[in-house]
Amino acid sequence: MGGGGFFADPSSPLDDFMLSLSEEARPRVCLLPTPSGDGDRGIAAFFEAFARRDCEPSCVRLFGMPDRPADELAAQDVIYVSGGNTANALALWRLHGVDEALRAAWQRGAVLGGVSAGANCWFECSVTDSFGSALAPLHDGLGVLGGSFCPHYDGEELRRPVYRALVDDGFPPGYAADDGAALHFFGTELREVVSCRPDARAYRVEPGRETAIDARQL
């Protein structure tokens, strides 16, 4: 998701869509709030939003004394990564073996997703504010999906020009998503784009050009 989800709207149709991708009647959905520093406010918002849905919500924290996080993630049907600091999350995940647990979850068919940093993390590269207020390229994502990603494409003034300039200068091509839009990949193939706003869409960004991808409004 380029932006949105439960933190912006507890009844977000993007979250309903994510749950619908699971084959389980009552999926086990786990928030991984590492990018937000395991912030209590976001965790509370997650439980408030998902307690009203037909699922079993849980949360895996890494700050403090994590108790076998890889084992907890192995039991989940849906893993939802929060927004926040992409680079910090990747470092902690690698320290605790969460990166390998997430790849194993993807390989067994779990639904993986998230907002902003929670979308950046799945790609090889992304555009991030992890290193300060200025946007910068990040080259060491999980690499579940190839190429690059940029969230908040219409929500933050500098996202589009910075990403376009990076790709024109040799940064791997990839996808961008407006706030309220989400890209649904099946394996590594883009299946569709969905949105919770009529004007939200995604884009394929390559050197010298940007191609809009129409979204199905939920």
pLDDT of residue 9: 94
Q: Coil, strand, or helix at residue 86?
A: helix
Q: Which residues are part of the catalytic machinery?
A: 116, 152
* Domain-embedded: residue 138: yes
Structure tokens at 1: 């998701």
* Domain-embedded: residue 184: yes
pLDDT of residue 24: 96
* Domain-embedded: residue 2: no
What average pLDDT score do residues 188-212 get?
97
Cα end-to-end span (Å), the chain: 14
pLDDT one-digit tens code per residue, 62-119: 998 778 899 999 999 999 999 999 999 999 999 999 999 999 999 999 999 999 999 9
Angle among Cα 27, 29, 32 to the nearest 5 degrees reads 165
Percent of the chain at pLDDT exceeding 70: 100
pLDDT of residue 67: 81
* Domain-embedded: residue 123: yes
pLDDT of residue 1: 97
* Domain-embedded: residue 54: yes
What is the residue range of 25's domain?
13-217
* Domain-embedded: residue 5: no
Provide the 10 A C-beta neighbour count for residue 210. Answer: 14
* Domain-embedded: residue 39: yes
State yes or no: pLDDT of 123 exceeds 80: yes
* Domain-embedded: residue 3: no
Q: What is the CATH number of the domain that holds 66?
A: 3.40.50.880
Rounded Cα distance between 84 and 36, Å, is: 4
pLDDT, averaged across the chain: 96
Rounded Cα distance between 126 and 129, Å, is: 10
Rounded to two decimals, what is the model's pTM? 0.95
pLDDT of residue 45: 97
- Report how many domains make up the chain: 1
Residue 171 Cα distances to 111, 185, 205, 211, angstroms = 28, 21, 10, 17
Rounded Cα distance between 47 and 58, Å, is: 8
